Amino acid sequence: MYALGRWWGVLVYLIVGRPTMLVDTGPAGHAPKILDAVLRAGVDPAGIERIVLTHYDYDHSGSAADLALQLNAPVAVHAADAPLLARPAASPGLRRWLYHPPIPRLLRWTPLTPDETLEDGDALGGWRVMHTPGHTPGSLSLLRGETCIVGDALVYGNGRLRQNVAHLAMDLDVQRASARRLARSGAQVVLPGHYAPCTDPAAMRGLRRTLGV
C-alpha cells in the first residue's frame, strides 16, 4: 500500500496485490505525475488492473479518464455515484452549482461513464466495499483487516480523526451515520482522501468517543 502524493490536496493510493489498484486519481491533468509516482514506488503501471473512485467529485476523479486510457484499466465507482460521474450537472442540492457549465470545462475535467459499479459488501481481492454515503450519495470506503481507505467520509488533522465538514455534505445525517459505521468497523489505520493518513489507533478511539459509539 502506497500513498503516492497529494494533488490539489488529494491523496492517491496504490494497492499492490490481487488486484493491483489505484484508489482515486486527483484532479484533471495529473495522470503523468501519478504514473511517475507509481514508477518511483517500484511498481510497473502496466500491472494496475482497476481504478477505484471513492466518490465522483472532480478532485478525486479528474484524471480517471486519462489514466484509464493509458493503463487500459476499468474505472469503478459505487452505483449511486455512477450517474453523477457521467453527468455531474445533475448533482443534488448546492453541489450542482459546482458542476454547472462551464466549470467542468474550465477545470479540464472530463466526466465519464464508469466501467464497473460497486455495491456495499462487494469484494475486490481482500478488500471489502463499504457504502459510506453522506459526502456524496455513493461515497465508498475499502476495508481490509484493520486498514480502511475512507475517501472524504473522514478527515485526519492535528492528531484528530473526524467526519468531514458539514457544508460539504450532501446529507449531514447520512454522513454522520457513515462515520459511526466506520468507527465500528474495527479499522485502526485510516486512510482519508485529504490531509494525512492516520496510523494512530488513539485517533479512532477519539472518534468513537466523539460520536458516542
What's the pLDDT band for 51 if we cut at 50, 70, 90? Answer: very high
Q: How confident is the model over 103-123, as a mean pLDDT?
A: 92
pLDDT(129) > 80: yes
Cβ-in-10-Å burial (0-12, 13-18, 19+) of 125 comes to: middle
**How many domains does the chain divide into?**
1
Whether the pLDDT of residue 24 is over 80: the answer is yes
Q: pLDDT band at residue 97, thresholds of 50, 70 and 90?
A: confident
> Does pLDDT of 43 surpass 90?
yes
Amino acid symbol at 140? L
Q: Which of 8, 70, 23 is nearest to 194 (CA)?
A: 8
C-beta separation of 51 from 66 below 8 A = no
Mean pLDDT, residues 90-102 taken together = 84
Question: Once rounded to an integer, what is the mean pLDDT over residues 62-67?
Answer: 96
Instruction: Name the least confident of 22-36, 116-130, 194-208.
Output: 194-208
Q: H or E segment at 66?
A: helix 64-71
CA distance 23 to 169: 21
Range of the domain at 29: 2-211
pLDDT confidence bin for 124, thresholds 50/70/90: very high
Residue 6, pLDDT score = 79
211/56 Cα distance (integer angstroms): 26
- Nearest to 15, CA basis, from 24, 6, 7: 24
Average pLDDT over residues 32-61: 96
The answer to whether residues 13 and 25 touch, using CB atoms and an 8 Å cutoff, is no
Distance CA 28, CA 131 (A): 25
Tally Cβ neighbours within 10 Å of residue 105: 9
Q: How many CB atoms lie within 10 A of CB 181?
A: 15
The answer on pLDDT for 86 being more than 80 is yes
pTM of the model: 0.95
Cβ contact 147:187 at 8 Å = yes
**Taking the alpha carbons of 186, 191, 197, 203 in that order, is the dihedral positive or negative?**
negative
* CATH classification of the domain holding 42: 3.60.15.10
Q: Which residues contact 150 (CB under 8 A, 6 or more apart)?
A: 54, 132, 141, 182, 190, 191, 192, 193
